[in-house]
């Protein structure tokens, strides 16, 4: 019996020692007390508790944690009661302060969040509350982080999950939103109609401008064509007159040249007085063919009949001489 009793004692001691070995997992801290007082905060690894003296007071997770609190009734500055639920993201930074700093820290955070939310919302009106979520989140986060610092808790951020105004307020807001949408729709339709009218007016304006430009160009081209036609016609008339004048000049030159040659030949023939008088008579005949209504006969040709008879006799004598010579 003594052997078995000793064996039982040894086994009992072994079991006790085995249960005193503690392994702290990652992202956890064990707060250990010895004889009821804080002894040490164990981090990740293998640790041994002294039997009957040490005990693990609290196992603390140092990972970021999320708390989703139930909706809280709050009243705005303009006396509107609404329900707001919040989400708090926090992390334990000091396991010892978290263990001994506050009783039921999660409940403490919830109550502190509710009171802080009521204080902030009480300073805002309904419209500001609905449109200032970021401002409310920032204020609550700063207040909670400062208050929980001595508890070994770091409040990372606070988010307003839902804001639920009363039913009549929601109905009024829906009607207001519907009216705003209808207003924006009408404004857009009016702007579209205005844009359409402006576009049409600008198109008509451009069309009239282009039409006027086309008419202007047509008139200019027509005037230029008429101008060129007039210039060409004037040049043709001038050319015609020049050629007529040149023809007349050439004709006069030929006549004068022929007259000069006849005078030369006449001079070379040494004509007698009867021939000269005959030439004068021919010249007088040409003058008489004109359009003059009065003709002054020179005194030299007044005895024209006698001269003509004498000239006839001379011509007949020359003809007889030629025949006899033959």
Q: What is the pLDDT of residue 28?
A: 92
**DSSP class per residue in 117-179:** HHHHHTTS-HHHHHH-HHHHHHHHHHHHHHHSGGGTEEEEEEEEEEEE--HHHHHHHHHHHHH
Residue 79 backbone phi and psi in degrees, to 5: 60, 45
Q: pLDDT tens-digit profile of 134-161?
A: 888 899 999 999 989 889 999 999 998 8
> Is 114:69 a contact under the CB 8 Å cutoff?
yes
Average pLDDT over residues 15-40: 86
**Residue 314 reports pLDDT greater than 50:** no
Is the backbone of residue 45 left (phi > 0), alpha (psi -120 to 50) or beta? left
Q: pLDDT tens-digit profile of 235-275?
A: 888 888 888 888 887 877 777 777 777 766 666 666 556 55
- Terminal alpha carbon distance of the chain: 215
The residues with which 63 forms a beta bridge, in sequence order, are none
Is the backbone of residue 47 left (phi > 0), alpha (psi -120 to 50) or beta? beta
Q: What is the pLDDT of residue 14?
A: 74
Highest mean pLDDT among 176-180, 192-196, 249-253, 267-271: 192-196
Eight-class DSSP state of 269: T
Average pLDDT over residues 59-70: 90
Which class for 271: exposed (0-12), middle (13-18), buried (19 or more C-beta within 10 A)?
middle
Q: What is the pLDDT of residue 32?
A: 92
Q: pLDDT tens-digit profile of 81-135?
A: 888 889 999 999 999 998 888 888 888 999 999 999 888 888 888 888 888 888 8
pTM above 0.85, yes or no: no
**Residue 319 reports pLDDT greater than 70:** no
């Amino acid at each position: 019996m003594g052997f078995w009793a000793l064996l039982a004692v040894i086994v009992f001691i072994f079991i006790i020692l085995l249960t005193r070995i503690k392994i702290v997992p990652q992202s956890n801290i064990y707060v250990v007390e010895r004889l009821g007082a804080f002894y040490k905060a164990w981090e990740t690894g293998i640790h041994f508790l002294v039997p009957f003296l040490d005990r693990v007071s609290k196992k603390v997770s140092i990972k970021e944690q999320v708390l989703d609190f139930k909706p809280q009734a709050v009243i705005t500055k303009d006396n509107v009661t609404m329900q707001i639920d919040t989400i708090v993201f926090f992390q334990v930074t000091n396991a010892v302060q978290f263990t001994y700093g506050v009783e039921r820290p999660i409940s403490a955070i919830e109550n502190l969040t509710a009171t802080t939310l009521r204080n902030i919302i009480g300073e805002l009106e309904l419209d500001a509350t609905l449109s200032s979520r970021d401002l409310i989140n920032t204020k609550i986060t700063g207040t909670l982080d400062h208050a929980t610092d001595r508890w070994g808790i770091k409040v990372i951020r606070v988010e307003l999950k839902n804001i639920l105004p009363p039913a009549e307020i929601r109905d009024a807001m829906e009607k207001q939103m519907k009216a705003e949408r209808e207003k924006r729709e009408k404004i857009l339709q009016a702007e579209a109609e205005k844009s359409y009218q402006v576009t049409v007016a600008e198109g008509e304006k451009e069309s009239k401008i282009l039409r006027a430009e086309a008419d202007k160009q047509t008139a200019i081209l027509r005037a230029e064509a008429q101008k060129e036609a007039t210039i060409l016609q004037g040049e043709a008339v001038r050319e015609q007159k020049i050629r007529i004048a040149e023809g007349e000049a050439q004709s006069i030159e030929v006549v004068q040249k022929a007259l000069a040659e006849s005078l030369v030949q006449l001079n070379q023939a040494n004509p007698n007085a009867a021939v000269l008088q005959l030439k004068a008579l021919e010249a007088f005949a040409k003058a008489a063919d004109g359009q003059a209504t009065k003709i002054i006969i020179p005194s030299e040709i007044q005895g024209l009949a006698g001269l003509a008879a004498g000239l006839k006799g001379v011509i007949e004598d020359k003809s007889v001489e030629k025949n006899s010579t033959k």
